[in-house]
A and B are shown apart, each in its own frame.
Chain A
Amino acid sequence: MTQAFVRAAPAPQLPPPKQADGRVAALSRNLLGSPKSLALTFGALVLVIWAVPDLLRYFIFGAVWHGDAVTCRATDGACWPFIAEKLPYFVYGSYPLDQRWRVDLVFAVGGLLIVWLLAPRAPARRLGLWLAFLVYPVLAFVLLYGWPALGLPRVASDLWGGMLVTLIVSAVGIVVSLPLGILLAFGRRFGPLAVRLTSVAFIEFMRGVPMIAVLFMANTMLPLFLPEGVEPDRLVRPLVGVALFASAYMAEVVRGGLQAIARGQNEAGQALGLRFWAIQRLVILPQVLRLTIPAITNTFIGLFKDTTLVATVGIFDFLRTVDSARLDPNWSGPTITPTAYAFAALVYFVCCFSLSRYAQGLERRLAAGYGRDRFQ
């Protein structure tokens, strides 16, 4: 073996490249590197300097924090006392004052269940699921609607409103759409022809029309299809619409998950001698749900935002209570409307943004444990 060339002495050291490394160099290259980049950076900064102080002044430093409608009318900042006074209305709607502890209890139990189910290492999650999907809805209904025999007077649903209704509509949408969506997805993928066609027709119909139209339909047509004397509650009608609507979207999410499960999983199940439904229940569905948790969360976020549309059929959800409170003549003033909308936007933003961050975190965690070989 011969070697053509062996360096005998070390090569002379080259000078380090000019500031190619490090945070400062990267920043200055990215922000000021080219004339275009420089102009963009400069433009963005001008926008910030132009907008941010005004926004801060309007909503924080120049805003009215203590006082009443008269104080608010006298200045041109946001009017937070208005929000403070209307807050109970935004949360409970017109639910009777002395019965609001029932709503609080429903909120508290619901919050506990959510923490239980969403915390990364919670114990006995299966029990939590049963409680959340079967026991909690019944409990919440009894508490909110009342049961005179138990000493809970009836509270008709037209007194419910605000965040309470928003959460009810979202929760019903979630609780119904998950199982129904799974059923529809299975029907669409594995069912015999008649079942498959029915599933496809239902899914495509619900996804093809605006949610407002579904709500209109539930509101005007549902009573027509029911026997005489059965008058569906005015809150139940949109709930049916929302639940069916959400199910169609959930079905497509689950279908995507089913599509992503490798064929080998089915074959392995068959090799173990499992029947079709056992394979689905024990092998496929757990994987599908794990794969689609981020997509399911996104569907929930969409559903939560879409609950605002129940206002079309006269339901006072959170947004509707905010929108009607801003017209209160006692609080009339030039800054009431912007304050009300800003508050509503903040509430929706906090809910949706934290949910979406949770979904992203979950996605990362699942990807870390699950790896990229899931498509093989």
Chain B
Amino acid sequence: MATLSGAFRRGNAAHSALVQIAFVLGLGFLVYEAATLALAHMREHHIPTDFGFWNERAGFDIDPHLIAYSFTSTYGRAFFVGLINTLVVSAVGVVFASLLGFAIGAARLSTNLVIAKFAGFYIEAFRNVPLLLQILFWYNGVLKALPAPRASLAFPGHIFLNDRGLFMPAPTLSPLGLSLPVFHGFNFIGGMKLSPEFVALTLSLVLYTATFIAEIVRAGIAGVPKGQGEAAAALGLNAVQARKFVIVPQALRLIVPPLTSQYLNLFKNSSLAVFIGYPDLVQVFAGTVLNQTGAAVPVITVTMAVYLFVSLLGSLAMNLFNRRIAGAVH
């Protein structure tokens, strides 16, 4: 492609340089004008333009918080609570979406017709309905409609589900053991509590993302030439060995790049938490903190920066990979 990108340079180097300088100057002028205007507006309306609010008292509560936090904590601390909640929901989502996605993708390729059709039905049903609708459905339609703690649904292994969330046993460090949720008064104490917001968000993210992962897995396995399986059979490998040593390693090459995109999508989609009030980064920081401080520009900038940082890491890996593939085509 070098010959083509030279189209600008080939004619006249000076001309190309001039065009570029004009472009940069024009862009710079636009940005400068917009920034000046924005600053003037913000000064006029007394909108904070810096991070002065960072160490001020937040005065609102966040539940759940995995690091020490109370309403006397600072806005800066609230930011980290939100960030950690985003990371937790994304990590749990990625793990379960991968497990479900690979299982469904394999089921889709099963020779068992019923199982394959089942997997196909699940994929079409959940992929073609907006994620937000699924989140609202699980939250408002299912979890909020559950009975109160007194009439919890009880599952084996001391797991209880009610309109306050999911209660289950939790390991304890000192003394080493297991803390079981026990019904006491009006609610459960002990064990681990997962809020309905967390459960609804994770469940929707997993069910939605798994459909895309399943299709990626299917396409990856289908993309390995048939001859590879036949070659493996000719070498005397049985079906399991052929899959393990020949098919899957080649399929992974096709699977990993789009899989990375799906992980990043899940990470970004976790921001839909704002619709049901799970305190993730967007809900806490770009929501509550922004509303209380009015510092739109700093808050939005930091929020964007966090998402960008993670996404760019993924994108960088993908582009390196893409360069290898694209190089192989030509």
Contacts and interface: CB of A to CB of B under 8 A. Distances in A.
Interface of A: 27, 30-31, 33, 37, 40-41, 44-45, 47, 189-195, 198, 204-205, 207-213, 216-217, 220-221, 223-228, 259-260, 262-263, 266, 270, 275-276, 279, 301, 305-306, 308-309, 311-312, 319, 323, 334, 337-338, 341, 344-345, 348-349, 352-353, 356, 375
Contacts of B268: 209-211
12 contacts: A30-B111, A189-B1, A204-B308, A205-B308, A209-B304, A210-B271, A210-B307, A221-B38, A221-B297, A228-B41, A276-B4, A353-B128
Given A208-B315, A260-B329, A266-B3, A319 B130 contact: yes
B132 A337 contact: no
A41 to B, nearest CB: 5
B275 A337 contact: no
B23 A213 contact: no
Nearest to A351: B128
B170 interface: no
Given A213-B282, A309-B272, A221 B296 contact: yes
A87 to B, nearest CB: 18
Nearest to A279: B4
A211 to B, nearest CB: 8
A190 B296 contact: no
A44 B115 CA distance: 7
B296 to A, nearest CB: 4
B317 interface: no
A356 B128 contact: yes
B133 A341 contact: yes
A252 to B, nearest CB: 10
B114 A312 contact: no
Contacts of B127: 352
Contacts of B307: 208-210, 213
Contacts of A306: 130
A242 to B, nearest CB: 14
A209 B311 contact: yes
B5 A40 contact: no
Given A263-B330, A338-B141, A349-B129, A209 B4 contact: no
A41 B114 contact: yes
A344 B140 CA distance: 14
Nearest to B118: A44
Nearest to B128: A352
B314 to A, nearest CB: 9
A217 B130 contact: no
A221 B41 CA distance: 11
Given A220-B300, A270-B3, A348-B133, 14 more contacts: A30-B112, A31-B114, A44-B118, A189-B5, A195-B20, A195-B23, A205-B304, A224-B37, A224-B38, A266-B4, A308-B132, A341-B140, A345-B133, A352-B128
B286 to A, nearest CB: 6
- Interface residues of chain A: helix, strand, loop or mixed (majority): helix
B115 A210 contact: no
B311 A311 contact: no
Interface string B128-150: 11111100110011000100000
Contacts of A207: 311, 315
A335 to B, nearest CB: 10
B24 A194 contact: yes
Contacts of B274: 212, 312
B114 A44 contact: yes
Contacts of B282: 210, 212-213, 216
Contacts of A195: 20, 23
Contact of B8 (A192, A204, A334): A192
Contacts of B329: 259-260, 375
Contacts of A191: 8
A224 B115 contact: no
Interface in B180-220: none
B269 A210 contact: yes
B42 interface: yes
Interface centre among A212, A349, A353 (most CB of B within 10 A): A212
Interface in B237-256: none
A195 B22 CA distance: 11
A194 B21 CA distance: 8
A321 B97 CA distance: 30
Contacts of A338: 141
Given A198-B27, A209-B268, A375-B329, A192 B19 contact: yes
A315 to B, nearest CB: 13
Contacts of A211: 268
Given A40-B115, A194-B20, A337 B140 contact: yes
B235 interface: no
A216 B115 CA distance: 43
B23 to A, nearest CB: 5
Contact of B4 (A30, A190, A341): A190
Interface string B300-315: 1001100110111001
A348 B130 contact: yes
B14 interface: no
A221 B35 CA distance: 11
A224 B128 contact: no
Contacts of A47: 118
A217 B304 contact: yes
A341 B200 CA distance: 15
Contacts of B38: 221, 224-225
A212 B118 CA distance: 33
A252 B242 CA distance: 35
Contacts of B315: 204, 207-208
Contacts of A348: 128-130, 133
Contact of B37 (A44, A225, A276): A225
B7 interface: yes
Interface string B20-40: 100110010000001101100
B320 interface: no
A29 to B, nearest CB: 8
B176 interface: no
B300 A217 contact: yes
A309 B274 CA distance: 10
B288 to A, nearest CB: 13
Closest A-B pairs by Cβ, 6 of them: A208-B311, A276-B7, A352-B128, A210-B271, A210-B268, A305-B130
Nearest to B115: A40
